[in-house]
Structure 1
Amino acid sequence: MAAEASKIDIKDLSRQQLAEWLQSRGQRPFRTDQILRWVYLHQSDRFEEMTNIGKPLRAALSAAFVNPRLQVENEASSKDGSRKFLFRLYDGRHIETVLIPEKDHFTLCISSQVGCRQGCRFCMTAKGGWIRNLSTGEIVSQVRDVKQHVDAMGDMPLTNIVFMGMGEPLDNYANVIQALEAITDGDWGLKFSSRRVTVSTAGIVPAMADLGRDTPVNLAVSLNATEDDTRSRLMPVNRRYPIADLIEACRRYPLPPRRKITFEYILMKGVNDSLKDARRLVKLLRPIKAKINLIPFNEHPGSEFLRPDPDRIAQFQETLADHHYTAMVRHSKGQDIGAACGQLRAKLEMDEG
């Protein structure tokens, strides 16, 4: 066990880092992608299985690296088809990953941190605080492991990835960017289209320009209010990067052709669901190529917030539609299994306590 613990997860290496490791051992450059295809495309867990690589190199890889799977601590299935995985990490910490069925494909909601430091009042993950960032390998493993599971089922393909699970992706920037390379690379990686991968942020303004420069994936912004007082109460990040700064960063964001920024707006009864809020939202987003996801609050035990009445949700959506915005109401799936981020982890910690 001690020898294994001293080895590096090969998925923590970037393509460039693996290429340099191989070069230092006199290996030819093509070996880099050859090995990575075994890891990601062929879903191989053991270096001994890499049959088009010579035995000495396989032995060197085995001596230096490991290629582990995440340990499934708990798995819950919803009546709507959603499945939540509670993964146990090497240090005993836990993260959550949710597989969501759509009409003809699956979407996977993945985590980027153990906990979160943003402290949003409506979020279950925030209540546990921030513990640590996930490594590149831990981020990619969520996709790699669940993809293997989905492919074995054979019902529908896994095509969409959203960084909307536990944690703030832009607070773990370097590892998220490196993971995105492995997820989206069309040659040696997992081959997900960048058009079907979305990174969601609470509004870490300085990192948003970097994201647009470093990757062509989609951007989603968790907005949730139309004026600073309310947003600062809901989301402490707004005290550092107020709405005007956030909107300006979105206006400057280098969108690929025919793309829009998605704004996530969690509707909370009596907090941010008035028609005045809807009209302010229309005005606020006017300078941006935007679409809006309206998410009625997913009530959970101990929450101080409530879901708005259905009529109010419909009126809010109609106000946006009247001003030519694409505004979809996204009802939370997996409510019977606690699919809101952090609920399964919180329950485990409560049971263990």
Structure 2
Amino acid sequence: MDKKTKDIRDLSLDEINHFITQQGEKAFRAKQIDQWLWKNGAREWNDMKNIPNNLLEKLSENFHFKSLSTLTHIVSTDGTTKFLFETHDKKHIEGVLIFSRDRVTACISTQIGCALNCGFCATGKLGLYRDLSAGEIFDQIILMNEHLISISKRAITNIVVMGMGEAFLNFENSMKALEKITLPKYLGMSPRRITVSTAGVADGIRKFADLNSGMHLALSLHTADETLRREIMPVTKSNPFNEIIDALKYFHQKTGERITMEYLLLKDVNDSLEQAKALAEFCKNFPVKINIINYNSTDEADFKASSEEQKNRFVKFLESKNIIVNIRASKGDDIAAACGQLALKNKK
């Protein structure tokens, strides 16, 4: 492979150090470059102010700097802000800032598009173009945080990996980016402020458990009826319930963590009392909390949101089984930034 095709952020610190010393430079330059890449948020060579020009030239001759740029952002009536980012190869992804009284949560993407084709999700209708690199995942936080600081003097407090793509099908790059975000020598965000969501990739859940990183796990479950889930979430065909449940048990055993269940209520699909009973039965296997999510309409799907009456019945049944239930406020639906809506709607 031509070295020039490699992103500098795909290299480890040891690999950067090896290259630097081969060029006759002092080893401490590698740590300086590493800090520019993962702490100071450099996105082009000229950002590295304390690196000599001759070394920057050598780096640029051998490596790409495949960073994201912000094409535009749009703001919801509730303040939710959706960003359209462009990659070095002119592909597009979205990220979202969600505001509440005491926190600002960044929702980030891990792939360009998604291969899972969940029936209710607009992103899945795009298909999968490619995985994002660790640098591209990391850049979303840098760019959204820079915007946030410029308008409010606030900073991102929480991260949810719930944007475009399935993080556990881009496991290495997703975890590398999150490691850079959490390590004290880089951005230093507490892992306790990060939640990684999966549609139910059992092998990925196990690998995530083995990291014991302190980050939270959310399962986008949406029905505990396996036959129905195979229809609306085809990932279930290759990750049947017995494998998902075993992986979630393993995660709890390894980490001691409560698992979040994401449940999108769909009228006359998964909102019946029988569905609630199945969900309660599923959740007997490990400590959980359930986030009930209102369905947000998309052009790509024909589902409808459950009525308030049906939602309340569903929630009351779960609570009668001593299950922690949160009804998650839907934000950004007027700009297609809510759950299941990310599909590059603001790209012209």
TM-score norm. by structure 1 comes to 0.88
Distance 1:247 1:150, change over 3 A: same
Amino acid at match of 1:327: V
**SS across alignment from 1:158:** coil
Q: Which moved more, 1:104-113 or 1:37-46?
A: 37-46
Q: How does 1:1-353 map to 2 (within 5 A)?
A: 6=4, 8-25=6-23, 30-48=28-46, 50-54=48-52, 56-67=54-65, 69-187=67-185, 189-214=186-211, 216=213, 217-253=215-251, 259-340=257-338, 341=340, 343-346=342-345, 348=347
Distance 1:271 1:20, change over 3 A: farther
Distance 1:317 1:155, change over 3 A: farther
Distance in 2 separating the partners of 1:7 and 1:245: 38
**Deviation (angstroms), 1:316:** 1.7
Distance in 2 separating the partners of 1:287 and 1:144: 38
**Deviation (angstroms), 1:274:** 1.2
Distance in 2 separating the partners of 1:190 and 1:330: 28
**SS across alignment from 1:345:** coil
**Deviation (angstroms), 1:107:** 0.7
Residue pair 1:219, 1:262 contacting (<8 A) in 2 also? yes
Distance in 2 separating the partners of 1:166 and 1:282: 28
Distance 1:19 1:125, change over 3 A: same
Distance in 1 separating the partners of 2:70 and 2:51: 31
**Deviation (angstroms), 1:49:** 5.1
**Deviation (angstroms), 1:74:** 2.9
Distance in 2 separating the partners of 1:15 and 1:263: 37
Distance in 1 separating the partners of 2:294 and 2:137: 28
**Deviation (angstroms), 1:280:** 2.0
Amino acid at match of 1:77: V
**SS across alignment from 1:138:** helix
**Deviation (angstroms), 1:65:** 3.9
RMSD: 2.5
Distance in 2 separating the partners of 1:90 and 1:50: 19
Distance in 2 separating the partners of 1:222 and 1:165: 12
Distance in 2 separating the partners of 1:113 and 1:48: 28
Residue pair 2:71, 2:86 contacting (<8 A) in 1 also? yes
Alignment size in residue pairs: 345
Which structure 2 residue ranges, 5 or more long, are not aligned? none
Residue pair 1:294, 1:328 contacting (<8 A) in 2 also? yes
Residue pair 1:115, 1:129 contacting (<8 A) in 2 also? yes
Residue pair 2:212, 2:254 contacting (<8 A) in 1 also? no
Distance 1:259 1:15, change over 3 A: farther
**SS across alignment from 2:325:** strand
TM-score norm. by structure 2 comes to 0.90
Amino acid at match of 2:76: S
**SS across alignment from 1:200:** strand
Q: Which moved more, 1:242-251 or 1:256-265?
A: 256-265
Residue pair 2:298, 2:341 contacting (<8 A) in 1 also? no
Which structure 1 residue ranges, 5 or more long, are not aligned? none
